[in-house]
Structure 1
């Protein structure tokens, strides 16, 4: 487990800080095709940010790095991919693009903010800390 964390930290440290946002944003079908059955590791500004596992039926499990896992789901609304989680029912909406650097996400209402970039993906489930161990 410690080796996996070390490798993850190294991969985040070597990832590009900013990615281009080419082409049209992904719709629900495009987003689902790129994510379902995968666990994606995100960074922001070249720093580790979090990890999300995408399950069938638009279900997800999210964790900020080093934090507890949170179950949730996603849906498309007005061109955004929106997420709601068990501990926060307020939608968190993002625009996603597929880029050469990986999947890029920009938070709605913060067009100048740093994007999240999926710098690594795996077919393996997340390793959850806290109350949702084994999710």
Structure 2
């Protein structure tokens, strides 16, 4: 299933000032193709602050680490054109979902909750492991 034309248009308008005209929504599969087997640093687009680092172990499993924090494993799903993460420490059982997109050749994600404007940019992508204990077999 893909995002409908109206929803895509709403996403373009809701992104952030200056981003809507040149952004291109990409499929979760395209996003996963780019990050599979990589460790990626996500930075908040407005402040530039590091949000955290995620290692994409395979298409269904990732491990997330907030700077100075421990490792949390996540299950990846791709419903309705979104990429969603349900982490081991999520007590409510509700995944966090993002719309992946590209802007001027940069890989980004926008929180799928249109009421919130959070956008994160991939600023670093390496082959280095997060060295988390008890990593699931990929």
Superposition TM-score tier, normalisation by shorter sequence:
0.7 to 0.9
In structure 1, how many angstroms separate the alpha carbons of the residues matched to 2:59 and 2:51? 25
* Structure 1 residue 102: Cα displacement: 2.9
Alignment root-mean-square deviation, CA: 2.3
In structure 1, how many angstroms separate the alpha carbons of the residues matched to 2:112 and 2:33? 22
The TM-score, its normalising length taken from structure 1, stands at 0.72
Higher strand share: 1
**Gap change, CA 1:72 and 1:112, over 3 Å in 2:** closer
The TM-score, its normalising length taken from structure 2, stands at 0.71
Q: How many residues align?
A: 113
User: What residue in structure 1 maps to residue 120 of structure 2?
Assistant: 116
In the alignment, structure 1 residue 32 sits paired with structure 2 residue 32: yes
Higher helix share: 1
Runs (5+) with no aligned partner, structure 2: 1-16
* Structure 1 residue 27: Cα displacement: 1.7
Runs (5+) with no aligned partner, structure 1: 1-17
